[in-house]
Structure 1
Amino acid sequence: MKTAIGLIETMYWNGHTIDLWPHHLLRLQKGLEQYQTDVDEDELREQCFYKIKQSADPKQPKKLRLEVYPAPEKAEVNITVSDFKRTEGITLTLGFASGICIQSTRASGLKTTDRALYDKAQEQAAALQYSDMILHNEKGHLVETAIYNIIWKEKGKPDLYTPDIKEGCIAGVMRHYLLTKGFITEAILTKDLLGKAESVWVCNALRGIIPVRSIAGRVYEIRETGITL
């Protein structure tokens, strides 16, 4: 019997391996510790590979959605596999979510099935014909989008920044990888600062790093991050 809220890992199978698998496993383990349950890591990996092998054309890129529902004796694991191909050369348009606030003091940093807030943001994006919406916290600081972490570059500075985890964002797997490699640095992001930024990107483990073309009509310079994944 699964609990109301489960942990999610959305992963990218590149045709040969699961990208960023150790980072997915690390975030999942943190979630399991909070839920006071556990799964066998080797068994979990075997289940993922079994699902991939059972899919049509396993040598092609895939999206893996892993859901883990903690239970008293043994966590329930659900794995789904679907065709997925990253689209090269795309850019995104973002807006600002309305009437949605992330409470940073309550945020766990985990990705869970409790996604009503993010679903609402995506509904707003669809209604306004944006790719996604940026969400803020109770301090008015910008945190993340419905499905991505945010990266930005300030004019005259070589560094790339991402909102601090204390602001209430989900601890994205791609974000974690970029932080551990020193490609990005945590900082506070406000609307004013974002408006003055030179370039903006979004990232997640499934889709990679994608440049943002505009935010609420404000156009940004499209440029490479200089990051090699």
Structure 2
Amino acid sequence: MLLLNGHLRPTAALSLPNRGFTFGDGFFETLIFAGGRLHFGAHHFARMQAAAAALYLELPKALASAEQLEQGMGHLAAANELTAARVRLHIWRAGGGLYTPETSSVEWLATAAPFVPNEAPIARAAFALGTHAIYSPLSFCKGPQAWLYVRASREREQRGVDELVLLSADGYVAETTSAAIFWVKDKQLYTPALTTGCVAGVHRADLLARASSLGIPAHEVLATPDQLLQAEAVFTANVAGWRLIAQLQEHPYAPEHAAVLTQLLAGR
């Protein structure tokens, strides 16, 4: 079962013209509904509000609050008999038009699949060579720029590594192929600034808030690859969980020496 504009259906036929298909005029969210709740629900809703504002879209009533978002995704998970669901929520502008749209109203589609967490360490990572992050007024949200991550993921496969770290056009650390990147140095937490073109991940937002509540200095920075290699521990974080990086390029990490990381993990 899926949700099309708030209605449960076994299948869906999308009407044409479809601005999401023709112009990428919209965005998407990947959400986890498990344990009877929507993980990072408030952060998802905040990013959806920001993305809608940036694209001059109006969120529908069914998605007008974090509570309604959680209720709808829970309804979808239950309809698919899933206790742990990975939900893909697509939102696109309704109507036609060319570059100038005819309306700010939207259509939306949510689909669900079983969620299987994976927090196994990343054995080998490397810096991407063929793709870099691109900053724009919309790079903070998930949308048509996803082709960057598709391209980077193909490079990862071709190079035979487990993850790639993308750099910005200026050569600063930005993110990985599917997650935010964090590192620990001298009892402080670091992550790339949004100006690198990285996505404003919901787990990223949660970690920064958690660090603040624990009194751990946390910084959003412009960092060079060398600075990442000099860290005590490096890990990725997305809606699906945390993953430690065991080795980047030829440099191994020893995360047991990073007390800050231990605090953050214990606070989950």
Alignment TM-score, normalising by the size of structure 2: 0.77
Asked whether the equivalents of residues 144 and 150 of structure 1 are also in contact (C-alpha less than 8 Å), the reply is yes
- Give 1:34's aligned residue: 54
* Matches for 1:11-160 after TM superposition, within 5 Å: 11-39=31-59, 40=61, 41=64, 44-56=69-81, 58-59=82-83, 61-71=84-94, 72=103, 74-88=105-119, 90-92=120-122, 93-104=124-135, 108-154=139-185, 157-160=186-189
- Give 2:243's aligned residue: 210
Asked whether the equivalents of residues 121 and 132 of structure 1 are also in contact (C-alpha less than 8 Å), the reply is no
Q: Distance in 1 between matches of 2:188 and 2:236?
A: 15
Which range moved further: 216-225 or 4-13? 216-225
Alignment TM-score, normalising by the size of structure 1: 0.89
Structure with larger Rg: 2
**Stretches of 4+ aligned residues off by more than 2 angstroms:** 1-4, 42-47, 101-108, 222-225
**SS at the partner of 2:131?**
strand
Q: CA deviation at 1:119?
A: 0.5
Change over 3 Å in CA distance of 1:199–1:45 after alignment to 2: closer
Asked whether the equivalents of residues 54 and 138 of structure 2 are also in contact (C-alpha less than 8 Å), the reply is no
Do residues 2 (structure 1) and 19 (structure 2) align? yes
For 1:112, give the aligned amino acid.
G
Per-residue deviation, residues 47-74 of structure 1 (Å, max 9, x unmatched): 3222111113x32x22111111123253
Q: Distance in 2 between matches of 1:22 and 1:215?
A: 33
Unmatched tracts of structure 2, length 5 or more? 1-17, 95-102
Asked whether the equivalents of residues 33 and 73 of structure 2 are also in contact (C-alpha less than 8 Å), the reply is no
Aligned length: 223
Do residues 220 (structure 1) and 253 (structure 2) align? yes
Change over 3 Å in CA distance of 1:47–1:136 after alignment to 2: same
For 1:136, give the aligned amino acid.
L
For 2:237, give the aligned amino acid.
C
Per-residue deviation, residues 98-157 of structure 1 (Å, max 9, x unmatched): 121223356531111431111010011112222221111121111001101110012xx1
Change over 3 Å in CA distance of 1:2–1:21 after alignment to 2: same
Change over 3 Å in CA distance of 1:55–1:211 after alignment to 2: same
Q: Return the structure number with greater strand share.
A: 1
For 1:87, give the aligned amino acid.
N
Asked whether the equivalents of residues 111 and 170 of structure 1 are also in contact (C-alpha less than 8 Å), the reply is yes
Unmatched tracts of structure 1, length 5 or more? none
Q: Distance in 1 between matches of 2:159 and 2:93?
A: 37
| Percent of matched pairs sharing the same residue | 24
For 1:204, give the aligned amino acid.
N
Change over 3 Å in CA distance of 1:65–1:105 after alignment to 2: closer
